[in-house]
Amino acid sequence: MRIIIGFILGFIPGALAAVLLMLHNPMFDGDAPRVASGDGLELAVHGQDAVNVVRTSSGYPWIPAEPASVVSPNVEGMRSAVRVVLASTATAGEDDTADGVAYIARVSTLTREGRPLFGELIEQSMWHVVVPGGGSFFVVGEDDLWGFVRRMVLPMARGNDFRGKVAFETTIGPVRGGGRVIGLSGEFEGLKGSSELSQMVRRASLGEGVTDAESTLHVSF
């Protein structure tokens, strides 16, 4: 009996020590190095995570359904999220003045390809983008959310709403240079390019999700 009690007394602090080591391991800060953007397009989503149309998820604690009536994606065996938003568009490499609005349907899934043990939490995303008067394209990207989860979600899970300013550069693939962009119609038809996602979060809570943030998808053809 003493052996079992001793084992349990040792097991719990051992597990906690390993978790603390993973969370505070400076080798894995979870932020990918920024990829240089060439000429292209910037799609910026401002404000309350741009809940223009809907956001919904199955298993993303920081993406509650909004509006409440929206159905969740419920992809079998996956943690997945859908966001349908409007984004302001600007030409990359010039001033940041928005020159239009784009429609974006974004589908994200947390995968098992990254390992939290190595500071990775990989999310695959597909973006279907319509630029009015320009055309359409889709993007597939892989983002490492470990930095976001470590610096924001875990503190929020302890009951601390986040207020501040944290920037994330998350895109790590699937190709060297970031996400893969494939043109579908209009001026983008036949074009291929790359993308990277940067995010700035100012306010978030587990109950309401990210309520003040700016996400920018940099697209280069």
Partner 1 sequence: MRTSIIIGFLAGIAGALALAYTAPFLPHDRVRSETEVRTNGGRFEQFEVAGRADIVSLLPAGGNAQTEAVPSGARWYPDLAPFSGEAAVYRLRNASGVVIGVASRVKGVESPDDVQWVLHIPARGTIALKGAGIGDAEIGSVVAGEREFAGLVGEWQATAKPNGGWRIETLVIVPEPPSSLQAAGDRS
Residues in the site for partner 1, rule: CB under 8 A?
A: 2-19, 22, 52-54, 56, 67, 69-71, 73-80, 82, 84, 86, 101-103, 105, 107, 109-112, 114-117, 124, 126, 128, 130, 132-133, 135-136, 138, 140, 180, 182, 184-186
At 147, give phi and psi (nearest 5°). Answer: -60, -40
Nearer to partner 1, 17 or 167 (CB): 17
Q: How far is the CB of 30 from partner 1 (least distance, A)?
A: 14
In the complex, what is the shortest distance from the CB of residue 167 to partner 1, in angstroms, rounded to a whole number? 25
DSSP secondary structure letter of residue 34? P
How far is residue 33's CA from residue 132's CA, in Å, rounded to a whole number?
32
In whole angstroms, how close is the CB of 136 to partner 1 at the nearest point?
Answer: 5
Which of 180, 202 has the CB closer to partner 1? 180
DSSP 35: P
Provide the residue type at 194 as one letter.
S
Q: How far is the CB of 66 from partner 1 (least distance, A)?
A: 9
Q: How far apart are CA 9 and CA 104, in angstroms?
A: 51
In 10 A of CB 37, how many CB atoms? Answer: 20
